[in-house]
Amino acid sequence: MYRNILESHAHYDEKCYAPRLEQVLEEQRQKGVCCIINCGSDVASSHRSVELARRFDMVFAAVGVFPLAVEHLPANWLEEIRALSLEEKVVAIGEIGLDYHAGTQLRQQQIAVFEAQLELAKERNLPIQIHDRDADADTIALVEKHRPRGMVHRFASSPQAGQAFLELGMHLGIGPNITYPEFAHVLETVRAMPLERLVLETDSPFLPPARLAGQISTSDMIGEVAETIAKVRGDCTPQEVLDLACANAKRLFAIS
Ligand SMILES: [Zn+2]
């Protein structure tokens, strides 16, 4: 069994966990998960993240509005996120970023919402969690402009984009997508990146490893991510990967 599994990005406020959330989190603790950063994606889920962090010792919160929520934002969204960011156990602004998967119709709106939260992160001196889907060029340009600290969550981009994020000082959030053949290109980044910039995640409930595709994921599945990383690198054991990623995330998100 592994220990020191730090889940840097998950959504335990999703309805699928609700009937037995307490048991789920207790099972996660027993399976070696030491800490979970629960991430907001809009105002409501950011509130729920803060509530989870209040309720469970092992849970910390990230608050923010992600790009697919920009169309229906309440007028006071930024004030709400700012107020939440002052709460105890809020360790990041996230998830925030750009998503052009369905097209670039909302590009200007997404950029405006992303930049407002990059400013907020700076003002609050908090790291960020970036959601970048099919939007590498604009995301990299905005990271270069604002120079935040933080992680690119569920990193799935090209080795070139990975290199650009690393050069800008970002951490890369590596998750179970590296166990799927269609994300084999991510292994190139994993093989070459400095392990000091590695953080691990499952984006639960959304991303189980390939052999469990279609199921609800949980944070202990990070063990398989660590096994995959140890295998492609050949310079460390899965437990060493977990230990390092845990220490990296604790440093980045100032969790003691
Ligand atoms: Zn997420």
Q: What is the mean pLDDT of residues 26-46?
A: 98
Q: How far is the CA of 10 from the centre of ligand 1 (A)?
A: 6
Residue 194 Cα, ligand 1 centroid: separation in angstroms?
Answer: 24
Confidence bin at 3 (pLDDT 50/70/90): very high
In angstroms, what is the span from residue 99 Cα to ligand 1's centroid?
12
- How many angstroms is it from 130 CA to the middle of ligand 1? 9
CB 80 within 8 A of CB 116: no
Between the CA of residue 219 and those of 50, 118, 194, what are the distances in Å?
A: 19, 27, 23
Q: How far is the CA of 7 from the centre of ligand 1 (A)?
A: 12
Element (DSSP H or E) covering residue 8: strand 5-10
**9 CA distance to ligand 1 middle (Å):** 6
Ligand 1 centroid to residue 203 C-alpha, Å: 5
Sign of the alpha-carbon dihedral angle for 189, 222, 100, 45: negative
Determine the 3-state secondary structure of 215 from DSSP.
coil
CA of 50 to the centre of ligand 1 (A): 15
Closest CA to 92 of 48, 54, 37: 37
Reported as a single tens digit per residue, the pLDDT across 72-128 is 999 999 999 999 999 999 999 999 999 999 999 999 999 999 999 999 999 999 999
Expressed in angstroms and rounded, the spacing between residue 11 Cα and the centre of ligand 1 is: 6
Percent of the chain's residues with pLDDT above 90: 100
Query: Which pLDDT score, from 0 to 100, does residue 205 have?
Result: 98
pLDDT at 152: 98
Q: Ligand 1 centre and the CA of 238: distance in Å?
A: 24
What percentage of the chain carries pLDDT values higher than 70?
100
The CA 160 to ligand 1 mean position distance, Å, reads 23
Range of the domain at 68: 5-252
Reduced to 3 states (helix: H, G, I; strand: E, B; else coil), residue 189 is helix
Per-residue b/e over 70-98, b at no fewer than 16 CB within 10 Å?
Answer: beeeeeebbebbbebbebebbbbbbbbbb
CA 129 – ligand 1 centroid, Å: 9
Ligand 1 centroid to 138 CA: how many Å?
A: 20
Strands of the sheet with 198-200, listed across from one edge: 5-10, 33-39, 59-63, 90-99, 128-133, 150-152, 171-174, 198-200
pLDDT tens-digit readout, 187-209: 999 999 999 999 999 999 999 99
Give the Å distance between the CA of 39 and the centre of ligand 1.
Answer: 6
CATH of the domain at 178: 3.20.20.140
Overall domain count for the chain: 1
Task: Identify the bridge partners of residue 130 per DSSP, sorted by sequence position.
Answer: 96, 152
Give the mean model confidence (pLDDT) for residues 219-243: 97
Q: Please give the average per-residue pLDDT across 232-239, as a whole number.
A: 96
Please report the pLDDT score of residue 245 as a whole number: 98
Q: What is the pLDDT of residues 142-160, one digit of tens each?
A: 999 999 999 999 999 999 9
Q: Which pLDDT belongs to residue 139?
A: 98
Q: pLDDT value at position 223?
A: 98
Q: What is the DSSP letter of 203?
A: T
- Reported as a pLDDT band with limits 50, 70 and 90, residue 63 is very high
The whole-number pLDDT of residue 197 equals: 98
Between the CA of 233 and the centroid of ligand 1 the distance, in Å, is: 26
Query: Chain-wide mean pLDDT for the chain?
Result: 98
